[in-house]
Amino acid sequence: MKNLFTVMALIGALFAASAASATPATNTLFAKYKAAGASGFSAERGQKVWTKELLSESGEMMSCTTCHGKDLGKEGKHHKTGKLIKPMAPSANAERFTDAKKIEKWFKRNCNDVLGRECTAQEKGDILTFLLSQ
């Protein structure tokens, strides 16, 4: 009986952990990044890339937060068009990270705009881990 309880508690914990983060879309992407040689994704490293400021081609200091804002639970604002960007944190916006194609599209565009190059599989896995934890 005690064993059964332990097993149930473990299953419960697993569900709780997965509900807090991954979606089928992100699971697909994590598998893809691993296949490309990345491993051991870290939210901490992800946050560092996310907040790193770099001089952009247009001469302004840019990071992901330039448009997405410092508080991921709130709306961001496109630095040029002023278009509002829905919150990045899945806790504030349930639609986030549910479409793998969309995630890859924005990684490609925004890494190019902020870093001046595409992100590596490792960086994308780290950033995604960081964002999913929000």
Partner 1 sequence: MKNTGKLKATLLAIALLLSSSTALADGNFWQWLVTFSRQKEVQPVTNKAYQEECGSCHFAYPPGLLPGKSWAKLLEDKGLNDHFGENASLDADTLKEIRDYAMENAAEKSNFKRSRKIALATEEGDAPLRITEVRYIKRKHHDIPEKMIKGNKDVKSRSYCNACHTKAEKGIFDNDTVSIPNYPDYD
State the minimum distance, in angstroms, from the CB of residue 57 to partner 1: 7
Residues 5-64, interacting with partner 1 (CB under 8 A): 57-58
State the minimum distance, in angstroms, from the CB of residue 79 to partner 1: 9
> Which helix (H) or strand (E) is 76 found in, with range?
strand 76-77
State the minimum distance, in angstroms, from the CB of residue 93 to partner 1: 14
According to DSSP, the residues that pair with 55 across neighbouring strands are 61
Q: What is the DSSP string of 16-36?
A: HHHHTS--HHHHHHHHHHHHT
User: Binding to partner 1 by residue 105, rule CB under 8 A?
Assistant: yes
Residues 75-104, interacting with partner 1 (CB under 8 A): 78, 80-83, 101
Show the DSSP H helices in 20-134 as ranges.
Answer: 24-35, 43-51, 64-68, 100-115, 121-132
User: Binding to partner 1 by residue 2, rule CB under 8 A?
Assistant: no
Rounded to whole angstroms, the maximal C-alpha distance in the chain is 66
Residues making contact with partner 1 (CB under 8 A) = 57-58, 78, 80-83, 101, 105, 108-110, 112-113
